[in-house]
Amino acid sequence: MRKRDLTSIFDVTKTEIGDLLQEAVRLKQEKTPSFPLRGKTLAMIFEKSSTRTRVSFEVGMYQLGGMALFLNSRDIQLSRGETIQDTARTISRYVNGIMLRTFAHQNVAELAQAATVPVINGLSDLSHPCQILSDLLTVYEKKGDYRNLTYAYIGDGNNVLNSWIEAAGVLGISLNIATPPSHRPAHSILNRAQEMSPRAIRVFDRPEDAVRDADIVYTDVWVSMGQEDLRSQKLRDFTGFQINESLLGHAHRDAIVMHCLPAHRGEEITSGVLDGGQSVVFDQAENRLHMQKAILTFLMK
Protein backbone atom coordinates (compact mmCIF):
# COMPACT_ATOMS: atom_id res chain seq x y z
CA MET A 1 0.00 0.00 0.00
CA ARG A 2 1.31 3.46 -0.89
CA LYS A 3 2.26 5.56 2.11
CA ARG A 4 0.06 8.52 3.04
CA ASP A 5 1.27 12.07 3.73
CA LEU A 6 -0.37 15.08 5.34
CA THR A 7 0.99 18.01 3.35
CA SER A 8 -2.33 19.87 3.23
CA ILE A 9 -5.98 19.35 4.20
CA PHE A 10 -6.59 18.42 0.55
CA ASP A 11 -4.72 15.16 1.34
CA VAL A 12 -7.61 13.89 3.49
CA THR A 13 -11.29 13.24 2.78
CA LYS A 14 -14.33 14.43 4.67
CA THR A 15 -14.77 10.92 6.10
CA GLU A 16 -11.13 10.75 7.17
CA ILE A 17 -11.42 14.09 8.96
CA GLY A 18 -14.44 12.69 10.83
CA ASP A 19 -12.41 9.59 11.73
CA LEU A 20 -9.45 11.69 12.90
CA LEU A 21 -11.75 13.73 15.15
CA GLN A 22 -13.28 10.59 16.62
CA GLU A 23 -9.88 9.08 17.24
CA ALA A 24 -8.60 12.31 18.86
CA VAL A 25 -11.62 12.36 21.19
CA ARG A 26 -10.99 8.71 22.06
CA LEU A 27 -7.29 9.28 22.70
CA LYS A 28 -8.03 12.31 24.85
CA GLN A 29 -10.38 10.26 27.05
CA GLU A 30 -8.30 7.09 27.07
CA LYS A 31 -7.46 5.94 30.60
CA THR A 32 -5.17 3.03 29.72
CA PRO A 33 -2.85 3.83 26.82
CA SER A 34 -2.38 1.08 24.23
CA PHE A 35 0.90 2.38 22.71
CA PRO A 36 -0.03 1.82 19.05
CA LEU A 37 3.30 3.30 17.86
CA ARG A 38 5.53 1.27 20.18
CA GLY A 39 9.06 1.20 18.80
CA LYS A 40 8.32 3.76 16.07
CA THR A 41 10.23 6.98 15.50
CA LEU A 42 9.31 10.39 14.09
CA ALA A 43 11.99 12.78 12.78
CA MET A 44 10.97 16.42 13.22
CA ILE A 45 12.87 18.92 11.08
CA PHE A 46 12.40 22.55 12.10
CA GLU A 47 13.55 25.50 9.99
CA LYS A 48 11.39 27.86 12.07
CA SER A 49 10.63 28.32 15.77
CA SER A 50 7.86 26.38 17.47
CA THR A 51 6.38 25.85 20.90
CA ARG A 52 3.07 24.01 20.37
CA THR A 53 3.89 21.95 17.31
CA ARG A 54 7.21 20.74 18.63
CA VAL A 55 6.02 19.90 22.15
CA SER A 56 2.75 18.29 21.04
CA PHE A 57 4.42 16.06 18.43
CA GLU A 58 7.24 15.09 20.79
CA VAL A 59 4.98 14.34 23.77
CA GLY A 60 2.42 12.74 21.45
CA MET A 61 4.95 10.26 20.06
CA TYR A 62 6.08 9.37 23.58
CA GLN A 63 2.51 8.83 24.77
CA LEU A 64 1.85 6.56 21.77
CA GLY A 65 4.82 4.39 22.72
CA GLY A 66 7.30 5.78 20.19
CA MET A 67 9.85 8.56 20.22
CA ALA A 68 10.53 11.79 18.34
CA LEU A 69 13.84 13.27 17.26
CA PHE A 70 14.12 17.05 17.15
CA LEU A 71 16.32 18.11 14.23
CA ASN A 72 17.11 21.78 13.94
CA SER A 73 17.63 22.28 10.21
CA ARG A 74 20.78 24.32 10.99
CA ASP A 75 22.37 21.26 12.63
CA ILE A 76 21.85 18.75 9.83
CA GLN A 77 23.56 18.60 6.44
CA LEU A 78 20.49 20.18 4.80
CA SER A 79 21.95 23.52 5.91
CA ARG A 80 25.22 22.71 4.11
CA GLY A 81 23.65 21.94 0.77
CA GLU A 82 22.57 18.30 1.03
CA THR A 83 19.40 18.13 -1.04
CA ILE A 84 15.95 17.57 0.37
CA GLN A 85 15.71 14.43 -1.76
CA ASP A 86 18.91 12.91 -0.36
CA THR A 87 17.88 13.90 3.17
CA ALA A 88 14.48 12.29 2.67
CA ARG A 89 15.90 9.08 1.22
CA THR A 90 18.44 8.79 4.05
CA ILE A 91 16.16 9.62 6.97
CA SER A 92 13.47 7.27 5.60
CA ARG A 93 15.91 4.40 6.29
CA TYR A 94 15.96 5.23 10.02
CA VAL A 95 12.51 6.47 10.99
CA ASN A 96 8.82 5.74 10.42
CA GLY A 97 7.66 9.29 9.74
CA ILE A 98 9.01 12.79 9.08
CA MET A 99 7.52 16.10 10.16
CA LEU A 100 8.82 19.26 8.52
CA ARG A 101 8.32 22.91 9.50
CA THR A 102 9.71 25.03 6.72
CA PHE A 103 9.44 28.23 4.66
CA ALA A 104 8.76 27.26 1.02
CA HIS A 105 5.92 24.77 0.67
CA GLN A 106 7.84 23.22 -2.23
CA ASN A 107 10.17 21.74 0.41
CA VAL A 108 7.26 19.80 1.93
CA ALA A 109 6.19 18.58 -1.50
CA GLU A 110 9.73 17.48 -2.40
CA LEU A 111 10.23 15.76 0.93
CA ALA A 112 6.94 13.89 0.56
CA GLN A 113 7.85 12.88 -2.98
CA ALA A 114 11.28 11.52 -2.06
CA ALA A 115 10.59 10.01 1.37
CA THR A 116 9.41 6.43 1.62
CA VAL A 117 7.74 7.12 4.98
CA PRO A 118 4.77 9.44 5.72
CA VAL A 119 5.55 13.17 5.69
CA ILE A 120 3.63 15.66 7.83
CA ASN A 121 3.55 19.39 7.12
CA GLY A 122 4.16 21.01 10.50
CA LEU A 123 3.65 24.46 8.89
CA SER A 124 4.95 25.98 5.68
CA ASP A 125 4.51 29.49 4.31
CA LEU A 126 1.51 28.12 2.42
CA SER A 127 -0.37 25.99 4.93
CA HIS A 128 -0.71 24.57 8.44
CA PRO A 129 -2.98 21.51 8.18
CA CYS A 130 -2.34 19.99 11.65
CA GLN A 131 -3.46 23.26 13.23
CA ILE A 132 -6.82 23.30 11.50
CA LEU A 133 -7.51 19.61 12.17
CA SER A 134 -6.99 20.18 15.90
CA ASP A 135 -9.03 23.39 15.75
CA LEU A 136 -11.95 21.36 14.39
CA LEU A 137 -11.64 19.18 17.49
CA THR A 138 -11.90 22.26 19.70
CA VAL A 139 -14.95 23.50 17.81
CA TYR A 140 -16.55 20.08 18.09
CA GLU A 141 -15.95 20.02 21.86
CA LYS A 142 -17.24 23.53 22.42
CA LYS A 143 -20.20 23.49 20.03
CA GLY A 144 -21.11 19.79 19.81
CA ASP A 145 -20.66 19.95 16.03
CA TYR A 146 -18.16 21.30 13.52
CA ARG A 147 -20.16 21.19 10.29
CA ASN A 148 -23.31 23.29 10.61
CA LEU A 149 -21.65 26.42 11.95
CA THR A 150 -20.35 29.70 10.57
CA TYR A 151 -16.63 30.36 10.88
CA ALA A 152 -15.22 33.88 10.49
CA TYR A 153 -11.52 34.42 9.87
CA ILE A 154 -10.31 38.01 10.23
CA GLY A 155 -6.76 39.06 9.40
CA ASP A 156 -3.92 37.93 7.19
CA GLY A 157 -4.39 35.69 4.16
CA ASN A 158 -1.64 33.39 5.42
CA ASN A 159 -0.88 29.69 5.93
CA VAL A 160 -3.52 29.30 8.66
CA LEU A 161 -6.26 30.88 6.56
CA ASN A 162 -5.23 28.82 3.52
CA SER A 163 -5.72 25.66 5.57
CA TRP A 164 -9.13 26.88 6.75
CA ILE A 165 -10.07 27.40 3.11
CA GLU A 166 -8.93 23.87 2.29
CA ALA A 167 -11.05 22.57 5.19
CA ALA A 168 -14.05 24.54 3.93
CA GLY A 169 -13.54 22.99 0.50
CA VAL A 170 -13.28 19.43 1.80
CA LEU A 171 -15.99 19.68 4.47
CA GLY A 172 -18.31 22.26 2.90
CA ILE A 173 -18.35 24.29 6.14
CA SER A 174 -19.38 27.92 5.97
CA LEU A 175 -16.31 30.19 6.11
CA ASN A 176 -16.47 34.00 6.06
CA ILE A 177 -13.18 35.75 5.39
CA ALA A 178 -12.13 39.37 5.83
CA THR A 179 -8.58 40.34 4.91
CA PRO A 180 -7.16 43.61 3.59
CA PRO A 181 -7.21 43.56 -0.24
CA SER A 182 -3.40 43.42 -0.32
CA HIS A 183 -3.30 40.31 1.89
CA ARG A 184 -5.76 37.89 0.36
CA PRO A 185 -5.27 34.10 0.71
CA ALA A 186 -3.69 31.95 -2.03
CA HIS A 187 -5.76 32.10 -5.24
CA SER A 188 -5.04 28.53 -6.24
CA ILE A 189 -6.29 27.19 -2.90
CA LEU A 190 -9.36 29.40 -2.89
CA ASN A 191 -10.27 28.36 -6.44
CA ARG A 192 -9.84 24.66 -5.71
CA ALA A 193 -11.86 24.88 -2.48
CA GLN A 194 -14.62 26.82 -4.24
CA GLU A 195 -14.79 24.17 -6.96
CA MET A 196 -15.16 21.49 -4.28
CA SER A 197 -17.80 23.40 -2.26
CA PRO A 198 -19.16 26.30 -4.33
CA ARG A 199 -21.17 28.07 -1.62
CA ALA A 200 -18.93 27.47 1.41
CA ILE A 201 -16.59 30.46 1.31
CA ARG A 202 -17.54 34.13 1.32
CA VAL A 203 -14.99 36.93 1.08
CA PHE A 204 -15.80 40.27 2.72
CA ASP A 205 -14.02 43.62 2.78
CA ARG A 206 -15.27 44.62 6.24
CA PRO A 207 -14.53 42.50 9.33
CA GLU A 208 -17.93 43.51 10.78
CA ASP A 209 -19.71 41.86 7.86
CA ALA A 210 -17.63 38.68 8.11
CA VAL A 211 -18.27 38.15 11.84
CA ARG A 212 -22.01 38.77 11.63
CA ASP A 213 -23.72 35.46 12.44
CA ALA A 214 -20.37 33.83 13.20
CA ASP A 215 -20.18 30.99 15.73
CA ILE A 216 -16.39 31.02 15.63
CA VAL A 217 -14.25 34.15 15.34
CA TYR A 218 -10.68 33.27 14.38
CA THR A 219 -7.52 35.24 13.86
CA ASP A 220 -3.76 34.78 13.55
CA VAL A 221 -0.72 37.05 13.67
CA TRP A 222 -0.32 39.74 11.06
CA VAL A 223 3.43 39.17 10.77
CA SER A 224 4.19 35.50 10.22
CA MET A 225 7.58 33.87 10.73
CA GLY A 226 9.90 35.01 7.97
CA GLN A 227 7.99 38.25 7.31
CA GLU A 228 9.70 40.36 9.97
CA ASP A 229 10.99 42.84 7.36
CA LEU A 230 7.41 43.61 6.31
CA ARG A 231 6.33 44.39 9.85
CA SER A 232 5.76 48.15 9.71
CA GLN A 233 3.95 47.98 6.36
CA LYS A 234 1.74 45.13 7.53
CA LEU A 235 0.80 46.87 10.77
CA ARG A 236 -0.46 49.77 8.64
CA ASP A 237 -2.30 47.49 6.21
CA PHE A 238 -4.20 45.73 9.00
CA THR A 239 -5.69 48.79 10.66
CA GLY A 240 -9.32 47.95 11.43
CA PHE A 241 -8.77 44.18 11.34
CA GLN A 242 -8.17 43.67 15.07
CA ILE A 243 -10.37 41.28 17.04
CA ASN A 244 -11.48 43.52 19.88
CA GLU A 245 -14.54 43.86 22.09
CA SER A 246 -16.29 46.12 19.59
CA LEU A 247 -15.82 43.75 16.62
CA LEU A 248 -16.86 40.76 18.74
CA GLY A 249 -20.10 42.60 19.48
CA HIS A 250 -21.13 41.92 15.85
CA ALA A 251 -20.83 38.11 16.22
CA HIS A 252 -23.26 35.71 17.91
CA ARG A 253 -23.37 36.27 21.66
CA ASP A 254 -22.14 32.73 22.24
CA ALA A 255 -19.43 32.87 19.56
CA ILE A 256 -16.09 31.42 20.58
CA VAL A 257 -12.81 33.19 19.88
CA MET A 258 -9.93 31.16 18.50
CA HIS A 259 -6.27 31.91 17.75
CA CYS A 260 -3.65 29.32 16.80
CA LEU A 261 -1.06 31.16 18.95
CA PRO A 262 1.48 32.63 19.42
CA ALA A 263 -0.56 35.86 19.70
CA HIS A 264 0.74 39.39 19.40
CA ARG A 265 -1.43 40.99 22.05
CA GLY A 266 -2.57 44.45 21.06
CA GLU A 267 -2.05 43.77 17.34
CA GLU A 268 -4.41 41.21 15.79
CA ILE A 269 -6.26 40.68 19.08
CA THR A 270 -6.68 42.59 22.34
CA SER A 271 -5.66 41.03 25.64
CA GLY A 272 -9.23 41.63 26.81
CA VAL A 273 -10.61 39.32 24.12
CA LEU A 274 -7.78 36.77 24.27
CA ASP A 275 -8.23 36.36 28.04
CA GLY A 276 -12.00 36.95 27.98
CA GLY A 277 -14.92 34.60 28.53
CA GLN A 278 -15.43 33.79 24.85
CA SER A 279 -11.82 32.81 24.22
CA VAL A 280 -10.95 29.11 24.03
CA VAL A 281 -7.32 29.54 22.97
CA PHE A 282 -5.64 27.41 25.63
CA ASP A 283 -8.07 24.51 25.22
CA GLN A 284 -7.32 24.96 21.54
CA ALA A 285 -3.58 24.77 22.22
CA GLU A 286 -4.07 21.63 24.34
CA ASN A 287 -5.95 19.93 21.55
CA ARG A 288 -2.88 20.10 19.33
CA LEU A 289 -1.58 17.17 21.41
CA HIS A 290 -4.68 15.02 21.03
CA MET A 291 -5.02 15.64 17.31
CA GLN A 292 -1.29 15.08 16.64
CA LYS A 293 -1.70 11.67 18.25
CA ALA A 294 -4.66 10.88 15.98
CA ILE A 295 -2.69 12.06 12.92
CA LEU A 296 0.41 10.09 13.88
CA THR A 297 -1.62 6.93 14.47
CA PHE A 298 -3.51 7.40 11.18
CA LEU A 299 -0.29 7.77 9.15
CA MET A 300 2.21 5.58 10.98
CA LYS A 301 0.39 2.66 12.58
User: Which of residues 92 and 159 has its CB atom nearest to ligand NVA in the complex?
Assistant: 159
Catalytic residue among 63, 130, 131, 259: 131
Q: Would you call 288 a catalytic residue per the annotation?
A: yes
Catalytic residue among 52, 101, 252, 290: 101
Q: Would you call 128 a catalytic residue per the annotation?
A: yes
Shortest reach from residue 17's CB to ligand NVA, in Å: 20
Q: Is 296 helix (H, G, I), strand (E, B) or coil?
A: helix
Q: Would you call 250 a catalytic residue per the annotation?
A: no
For ligand CP, the binding residues (CB under 6 A) are 50-53, 123, 131, 260-262
* Nearest residue to the partner ligand NVA, using Cβ: 224
Rounded to whole angstroms, the Cα distance separating 141 from 143 reads: 6
| Cα–Cα separations (whole angstroms), residue 82 to 79, 89, 90, 105, 119 | 7, 11, 11, 18, 18
The kind and range of the H/E element at 209 are helix 207-211
Shortest reach from residue 53's CB to ligand CP, in Å: 3
For ligand NVA, the binding residues (CB under 6 A) are 123, 158-160, 220-221, 224-225, 260
Q: Would you call 220 a catalytic residue per the annotation?
A: yes
User: Which of residues 255 and 260 has its CB atom nearest to ligand NVA in the complex?
Assistant: 260
Q: Which does 215 bind (CB under 5 to 8 A by kind): ligand NVA, ligand CP, none?
A: none
User: What b-and-e string marks burial along 8-39, b requiring 16 or more CB atoms within 10 Å of the CB?
Assistant: bbbbbeeeebbebbebbbebbeeeeeeeebee
Residue positions annotated with a catalytic role: 101, 128, 131, 220, 260, 288
